Amino acid sequence: MDFLQQSFTVRFQYRVFFTSHLFDTSNLLLRDFLQEQAQDGAIKKLLFVIDEEVASHHPQLEQQIEEYCSAMPAYALAAIVPVTGGEEVKNSDADFQTLLDAINKCGIDRHSYVVAIGGGSVLDMAGYASAVAHRGVRHIRIPTTVLSQNDSGVGVKNSMNYFGKKNFLGTFAPPVAVFNDTHFLTTLSERDWRSGISEAVKVALIKDAAFFRWLEENAAAMMARDMDAMHYHIKRCAELHLQHIASGDPFEMGSARPLDFGHWSAHKLEQLTDFSVRHGEAVALGIALDSTYSYLSGKLDEPSLRRILSLLEALGFELMHPLLEVADAQNALLQGLTEFREHLGGRLTVTLLKEIGVGDEVHQMEPRMIIRASRWLQEYCLKEQKKDTR
Amino acid sequence: MDFLQQSFTVRFQYRVFFTSHLFDTSNLLLRDFLQEQAQDGAIKKLLFVIDEEVASHHPQLEQQIEEYCSAMPAYALAAIVPVTGGEEVKNSDADFQTLLDAINKCGIDRHSYVVAIGGGSVLDMAGYASAVAHRGVRHIRIPTTVLSQNDSGVGVKNSMNYFGKKNFLGTFAPPVAVFNDTHFLTTLSERDWRSGISEAVKVALIKDAAFFRWLEENAAAMMARDMDAMHYHIKRCAELHLQHIASGDPFEMGSARPLDFGHWSAHKLEQLTDFSVRHGEAVALGIALDSTYSYLSGKLDEPSLRRILSLLEALGFELMHPLLEVADAQNALLQGLTEFREHLGGRLTVTLLKEIGVGDEVHQMEPRMIIRASRWLQEYCLKEQKKDTR
């Protein structure tokens, strides 16, 4: 056989910084980071992308950014591009085209930076545009929600929705740095403050029983918007996600996706509700369903299941949704399993729970058992409601 | 400073196979490769993309592919998608959208394959679509031209043109395998047979003096369409490109692009002529210009320059083009230097020649010296013409 063998490794490194009031002129974190990168003497450009929802809560932000940049002689602020907030930014390609256009017109090259400030959806879109323009310009992420700070914003994926399918387009492209600024969390609605915490429950359940206990002990404090508790939870959750990415299969060449515990139904539920159910809320529902499935299929004991459901309730999550009431094998939600398999390909691989802190991969989920899990959860919720109204 | 450090490496491996008549049912190369990959028992899909120009020269190809695939029980032929040949496939997004649509409708997942058969442009477009659909489906390249077999098709880049700029969109995404089939070369026009050889001259000039001598000794045989000489040249050229990618900076995170010797003017010339000058032809012109510049700036000796120009002439390349007649610093071609720098970013880094086989990086090119090099080349060509007509 006549062939040449190609083989090489590529090293990826980035830091996830934790700070507050990143753009205060007295906060030198971002400035020091950028100065360290600016070694060749050429002036580098910074193109900012700002989630409109974030801008509306922080009307001074643009001016702060302008002032902050003017103090860095090795950098020039090229433009500040406002984009739609929420899932809509990924559904249409209008903002994506606007951003590509700005990258072109401003002459952003592979040594310049696109700095995106926003929730997970805005970071997904901006990360994708940054990854494909000039085969990848440098990208800095400044996640502003709980969900993006503890999970998606610190990872290596970006995406857009296409053909009505979540994340149909995207790449694996690590950012050059992530800056988690707690100040952005203070203006979150109660719903957004809560919803991202489900990703912490998820990662604790499959990887870290001690963190699960911490979440149980601090659920009330987090719900009371205790900033120290929120910060600890975000850092630990981000750390577990980062460790998983680095130790496993960062660009998902294999079939396993343990970090997607509870996600097969979550993705489908988001789509079926036209994204009116937030990702974090859908994940909480997905965790409830797959934990119940783990219990009914004999993997997880009942006290553990009850601890899981109690924690989700203590965090204010719903455990049932009309679309999760799976009555037969023709239910639309079950199509989510097929789509989940198709997105990655190969054998279906779903993570269930063996015990709190220990995941267990399976290659099949029985529709009959999913229907039973759905009924069990409906009854559980009814009983809880009665308790509450007693 | 409060931060988490992320750090990981990703290993990329693929083989570049050399064969003839890949889709003959008696040729087991592709079949054996695919069977080796099919380990988990699931049926994988194959989506073929075929360059219309190739299809017109090989009318039996579709049927051969159907027969070839029907003999692989672990694989299903999902579809055969014809696409435009040549640079046009990268200029408009029509074929790109058609391919994404086929990937979606056929349910091609991350463990299925997009197999592209065609010249460099078709492989660039199909590689890009494969890289962004589901964040990357598996991609097999079957380059059909000299240029794509010895250079672009064996590398890790893909691209589309956008905003009128060559390769504005793209990613770094190694294929899972490349199959170089010499049979496709037999139907190439004289122009396409020749033009890709300039990439071999280029890589020999910056890396391998012995290969340059081989090219001098075998130029006549290659022009007489000697298949053994063509095969040797393609394999050695592909090998030098692969070695460079693996030993250097595969995803071009730094500033240097030694493989782009002669390319700053070539890219601009292609664009200015609306791609009527082929990439390989433009590269030959770019090599002539930058070699002359290397001589005039005192790096390269005159006998070496004359050997380079003689080899290009022996291979049938033009050494001058009206757009290369640079008379002043406002010449459109010089804009190519700026665009070359902008595409990668950072400091301008251009490779010149110290001697045959040894490149030399510089960070500046003097417009005055480019004008002198252009005039020197014009005079050289005039003298050569006179010799020919004597």
Task: Summarize pLDDT for B58-101 with one digit per residue, the tens.
Answer: 999 999 999 999 999 999 999 999 999 999 999 999 999 999 99
Interface test with A, best of B3, B36, B108, B179 (most A CBs within 10 A): B3
Tell if the CB–CB gap between B168 and A110 is shorter than 8 Å.
no
pLDDT of residue B377: 97
Q: Distance between CA A126 and CA B265 in Å, rounded? A: 32
The amino acid present at A220, given as its one-letter code, is A
Min Cα separation A201/chain B (Å): 20
- When CB atoms are compared, the residue of B11, B162, B167 closest to A9 is B11
- Cβ contacts of A235 on chain B, cutoff 8 Å: 2, 4
Report ipTM for this prediction.
0.94
Q: Distance between CA B238 and CA B223 in Å, rounded? A: 19
Lowest mean pLDDT segment, chosen from A159-168, B20-29, B231-240: A159-168
pLDDT of residue B316: 97
**pLDDT of B38 strictly over 90:** no
pLDDT > 90: what percent of chain B?
A: 84
Tell if the CB–CB gap between A5 and B12 is shorter than 8 Å.
no
- Cβ contacts of A234 on chain B, cutoff 8 Å: none
Which strands, in side-by-side order, build the sheet including B3-19? A75-83, A44-51, A113-118, A138-143, A177-181, A3-19, B3-19, B177-181, B138-143, B113-118, B44-51, B75-83
pLDDT of residue B329: 83
Min Cα separation B302/chain A (Å): 34
- When CB atoms are compared, the residue of B9, B170, B246 closest to A11 is B9
Q: What is the mean pLDDT of residues A234-263?
A: 89
Confidence of residue A180 (pLDDT cuts 50, 70, 90): very high
Find residue A162's DSSP bridge partners: A165
pLDDT of residue A199: 96
Task: Determine contact, residues B168/B161, Cβ cutoff 8 Å.
Answer: yes
Q: What is the mean pLDDT of residues A76-84?
A: 98
Closest by CA to A106, choosing from A130, A142, A141, A71, is A130
Which domains occur in chain B, in start order?
15-187 (3.40.50.1970), 190-235+254-389 (1.20.1090.10)
Phi-psi region of A192 (alpha: psi -120 to 50; beta: other; left: phi over 0): alpha
pLDDT of residue A58: 97
Alpha helical stretches, state H, B60-113: 61-70, 88-91, 94-105
Min Cα separation A381/chain B (Å): 36
CA atoms within 13 A on the CB side of B250: 23
Q: Distance between CA A118 and CA A49 in Å, rounded? A: 8
pLDDT of residue A6: 96
Lowest mean pLDDT segment, chosen from B116-130, B213-227, B254-268, B337-351: B337-351
Total Cβ atoms within 10 A of residue B111: 23
pLDDT of residue A11: 95
- Cβ contacts of B252 on chain A, cutoff 8 Å: 110, 135
- Cβ contacts of A363 on chain B, cutoff 8 Å: none
Residues 6+ apart with CB under 8 A from B254: B346
**pLDDT of A188 strictly over 90:** yes
Tell if the CB–CB gap between B7 and A7 is shorter than 8 Å.
no
The amino acid present at B177, given as its one-letter code, is A
- When CB atoms are compared, the residue of B40, B238, B345 closest to A4 is B238
**pLDDT of B345 strictly over 80:** no
Task: Determine contact, residues A120/A279, Cβ cutoff 8 Å.
Answer: yes
Which residue is closest to B33 within chain A, CA to CA?
A1
- When CB atoms are compared, the residue of A7, A40, A154 closest to B347 is A40
pLDDT of residue B388: 78
Q: What is the mean pLDDT of residues B283-293?
A: 98
Find residue B143's DSSP bridge partners: B118
* Average predicted confidence (pLDDT) for chain A: 94
Which residue is closest to B128 within chain A, CA to CA?
A132
Closest by CA to B384, choosing from B301, B276, B288, is B288
pLDDT: which is higher, B388 or A290: A290
Provide DSSP, A299-316. Answer: SS-HHHHHHHHHHHHHTT
Task: Determine contact, residues B109/B137, Cβ cutoff 8 Å.
Answer: yes
Q: What is the mean pLDDT of residues A317-345?
A: 87
Task: Determine contact, residues A155/A193, Cβ cutoff 8 Å.
Answer: no
Confidence of residue A148 (pLDDT cuts 50, 70, 90): very high
Confidence of residue B265 (pLDDT cuts 50, 70, 90): very high
Task: Summarize pLDDT for A130-141 with one digit per residue, the tens.
Answer: 999 999 999 999
pLDDT > 90: what percent of chain A?
A: 84
pLDDT of residue B386: 87
Which residue is closest to B17 within chain A, CA to CA?
A3
- When CB atoms are compared, the residue of A5, A100, A255 closest to B15 is A5
Q: What is the mean pLDDT of residues B364-380?
A: 95
Min Cα separation B380/chain A (Å): 37
- When CB atoms are compared, the residue of B8, B14, B132 closest to A169 is B132
Tell if the CB–CB gap between A135 and B172 is shorter than 8 Å.
yes
**pLDDT of A40 strictly over 90:** no
Alpha helical stretches, state H, chain A: 29-37, 52-57, 61-70, 88-91, 94-105, 120-132, 146-150, 190-195, 197-207, 209-223, 227-247, 263-272, 279-296, 302-314, 335-344, 367-389
**pLDDT of B260 strictly over 90:** no
pLDDT of residue B32: 95
Task: Determine contact, residues B193/B146, Cβ cutoff 8 Å.
Answer: yes
Q: Distance between CA A272 and CA B363 in Å, rounded? A: 55
Q: What is the mean pLDDT of residues B181-189?
A: 97
Task: Summarize pLDDT for A300-313 with one digit per residue, the tens.
Answer: 999 999 999 999 99
pLDDT of residue B295: 98
**pLDDT of A258 strictly over 80:** no
Tell if the CB–CB gap between B133 and A169 is shorter than 8 Å.
yes
Alpha-carbon torsion A252, A257, A263, A268, what sign? positive
- Cβ contacts of B111 on chain A, cutoff 8 Å: 255, 344-346
- When CB atoms are compared, the residue of B18, B162, B168 closest to A2 is B18
Confidence of residue B380 (pLDDT cuts 50, 70, 90): very high
